[in-house]
Structure 1
Amino acid sequence: MRGTGSTRVVIYYRVPEGSADALISGYHASSAALKGTSGLLGNELLRNAHDPRRYAVLSEWEDLAAFQTWEAAKDHRGQTAPVREFVDPDPRPFAVYEVVASYSA
């Protein structure tokens, strides 16, 4: 077990029937815009196995400060604009988690 100090951010999305391709395209566009962002270690687009209309993006950051610095920057909204229309506000549009322990295989 190890604590890493890194931070994970989960953003939830819900797509209308037939709009999955638009979300996936938007994810790729946002990821390209985010390339080279200081402190961002990577991200993944995830589809809910029980409800194919629900998606999430899981991003990994060096630490909470790196995420907060990016979130406060003026470029933040432009970089995420391609997927913003699909954000699911129910129950919350996103969550931020600090890693306190982890295991590797």
Structure 2
Amino acid sequence: MGEVPARVRVVRLLRVREGRETDFVDAYQGVRDGAMRCPGHLREQLCRSLDDPGRWLLTSEWESLEAIERWRTDPDHTTLVGPMNACLHDDRWTGVFEIMPGSTGDRRPRQG
């Protein structure tokens, strides 16, 4: 049996321009919807800092690095991220991480 490819998480730390928060969230929702249509996309999350409301964290989880590359090279990706990136300052950071086997857990009570 072959080795199962590791799931991957993309992490982006962003600074949204003051007054552009609504535009950013609207544009993000378009990017999220496009990513959700891409094979291999598992989940997305957008978070805003409580300590620094101009700072945002965007994460997405993918089945594999290949799935991320398919999305990044999809023509829809470029079209969709343009309006989102227009809301951002240049001090942004993106990292791609392998999710280690056995490292995930969910402590929330199950709804039943």
Q: TM-score range by the shorter chain?
A: 0.7 to 0.9
Structure 1 residues 48, 27: closer, same or farther in 2, change over 3 A?
Answer: same
Matched with 1:97 is 97
Question: Which amino acid in structure 2 is aligned with residue 73 of structure 1?
Answer: D
Which structure has more relative contact order (CA 8 Å, sep 6+)? It is 1
What are the superposed Cα offsets for residues 62-85 of structure 1, whole Å, 9 maximum, x if unpaired? 011111222123332113223111
What are the superposed Cα offsets for residues 16-53 of structure 1, whole Å, 9 maximum, x if unpaired? 22221111111112222333111111211111222100
Question: Which amino acid in structure 2 is aligned with residue 97 of structure 1?
Answer: F
Q: What is the correspondence of 1:1-105 to structure 2 with a 5 Å cutoff?
A: 5-90=6-91, 92-101=92-101, 102-104=103-105, 105=107
Q: Structure 2 CA distance, aligned partners of 1:22 and 1:94?
A: 21
TM-score normalized with structure 1 length: 0.80
Kindly tell me the number of residue pairs found equivalent between the two proteins: 102
Structure 1 residues 70, 29: closer, same or farther in 2, change over 3 A?
Answer: closer
Whether the aligned pair in 2 keeps the contact of 1:46 and 1:55 (CA below 8 Å) is yes
Whether the aligned pair in 2 keeps the contact of 1:29 and 1:82 (CA below 8 Å) is no
Alignment partner of 2:6: what SS? coil
What are the ranges of 5 or more consecutive residues in structure 2 without an aligned counterpart? 108-112
Whether the aligned pair in 1 keeps the contact of 2:20 and 2:87 (CA below 8 Å) is no
Cα offset for 1:88?
4.6
Structure 1 residues 29, 70: closer, same or farther in 2, change over 3 A?
Answer: closer
What are the ranges of 5 or more consecutive residues in structure 1 without an aligned counterpart? none
Q: Which has the larger radius of gyration?
A: 2
Moved over 3 A (4+): 86-89
